[in-house]
Amino acid sequence: MLFALPLCFLAVSTPVRAADEPSLPEAPADLKLDRRRLGEVDREIILEMIKLGRFNIRFHQAANQRAVWRTWFYPIAIESGTSLSYTNTLTDLSQRARGLEDLDKISARSRMQGLRCNIIGQPISGCASASELFQNLIVAYRAKRQGFSPKDSENFIKNGLSTIDQLLAKRQQIVSVTQDGRILKKYELEGRILEQVRNQLVLEFERWSAQSRELMWRQNTFFFIDSLGRFTAMSGSICSLKGFTTPWLRGPAAILSLTAPSIATVNPLIKISVGVCMRKYQRWHLSRVFQNTRSEPVKDLLAEWKELDQLSSSGDPDSDDTMQVKRESFIAEYAERTDQVLDKEQERIEKLRQVAAQQAISGPMIGMAGVARSVLNTIAFYGNTRRGSFISANSLNFAGRISQALGQTYNLINTPVTRINKSIYSRKLEKEGKSPSQFLEARLHRLDELEKEIRSYPLTQ
């Protein structure tokens, strides 16, 4: 993770002497040469790590890009389509209620007008899902053009890691000639921290890549199946409307009306399963590509820093080595605090995602209400074919419409409430400066500052 990047300062600070530090006796020529070479290698390693860290953030931004208008267009379109379908449900329900005892009181004209509303409403909702699917494909295409496709991003990380690993091997060769045990231990510990930063950057890319793939497949699966179900419902309504003049179409209309809510019921379950499978596959794939190993926890490194500090406490408090250990201890402790801040921010992001994903819970509930209505409608048509059973069929359809009306009522309320809650929570994060976009931009700014600091550091002469 990028929380480890501040640790990179310690790798450069080893061969650097600040202007305000007390002067010390000149080091032997061979040792001075090694320290300078070590500083040059450390600087190259850190700059390469900054490139990887910056790429991770850009990749995350490109893979999860979403226009503001989309966050409002989809719920508004869904609400409009559901409202028209709800009009059909209430119209048919009122007519069924009038004919519970006398079928002649049912107005065929009113029922046909209600079906026309449904025929208009369902494609509005279906086109909304199809539009979201199309927009996601455009986002994926733009990300590919920018070099953030799965293949291109993997190649970029692989090339960066290859360069870093070569520099780390070169650094190890320089450190291996050091004879002083305490300095050698310090150099080796700095190398382990550099390796930790390298591994954390890879783990961050793996996690974000898997999350982006999961999100893309979940959304695209949901929008595709949802649009398919909406247009299936529209086809059922068309058959029902034609059934007033062509009775044999009433059977296919009942089957289509049963298929559409069944699709809506299983859609959230399918999208979640597909997303989880893609996330696991991507993590497995990237683990084979990078063969990354988990680095040591920060707390273990802090324990070693404290041990070094204790070893140096008996020396001159103003000496170069003592100041170096104190500086490194502070940076390590800062990294641990930054790690805690990132954990809290991750909880906020997950909370935001949960607010936005409430449809995964309500979707099956609404779909089951529609399935109950369609089952009763199918039974009413195929199980009551005799003329004397029409009253019983009408009663079944009346009960089914009640179930459907309850589900659509909940849907009409839940959609705006969910969207408003998400908007309120997003505005709250933005005011506090803690929204995901602000957080990522702040990390980019810190990387830029770190790069300027590293490039401005003079090497030991």
Contact call for residues 26 and 354 (beta carbons, < 8 A): no
| Cβ contacts of 136 within 8 Å, gap of 6 or more | 216, 219, 220, 223
pTM assigned to the model: 0.78
| Cβ contacts of 261 within 8 Å, gap of 6 or more | 229, 233, 367, 368, 369, 370, 371, 373, 374
Integer Cα distance of 384 and 394 in angstroms: 10
Amino acid at the residue 85: S
Report pLDDT for 362.
Answer: 65
Integer Cα distance of 96 and 401 in angstroms: 9
Q: For tokens 């032997």, name the residue.
A: 28
Q: Angle CA(295)–CA(299)–CA(304) in degrees, nearest 5?
A: 90
Domain boundaries, the chain: 2-11+30-298+321-456
| Cβ contacts of 351 within 8 Å, gap of 6 or more | 425
How many whole angstroms from its chain centre is CA 254? 39
Question: Closest by alpha carbon to 118, among 84, 80, 76?
Answer: 84
Integer Cα distance of 402 and 87 in angstroms: 13
Question: CB-based burial of residue 112 (10 Å sphere; 0-12 exposed, 13-18 middle, 19+ buried)?
Answer: middle
Quote the tokens at residue 244.
Answer: 């007033």
What is the mean pLDDT, run by run of 10 residues, along the chain of 461 residues? 40 36 41 67 84 86 76 87 92 90 87 93 92 90 88 92 91 76 73 78 85 88 92 93 89 89 88 92 90 64 61 48 42 43 50 48 75 85 65 86 89 83 81 78 81 70 43
| DSSP structure class, residue 179 | -
Exposure pattern of 317-355 as b/e (b: 16+ CB <10 Å)? eeeebbbbbbebbebbeebeebbeeeeeeeebeeebeee
Integer Cα distance of 435 and 426 in angstroms: 7
Contact call for residues 266 and 226 (beta carbons, < 8 A): no
Integer Cα distance of 381 and 252 in angstroms: 10
Report pLDDT for 52.
Answer: 87
Report the number of secondary-structure helices (H) and strands (E) in the chain: 12, 0
Report pLDDT for 456.
Answer: 77
| DSSP structure class, residue 21 | S
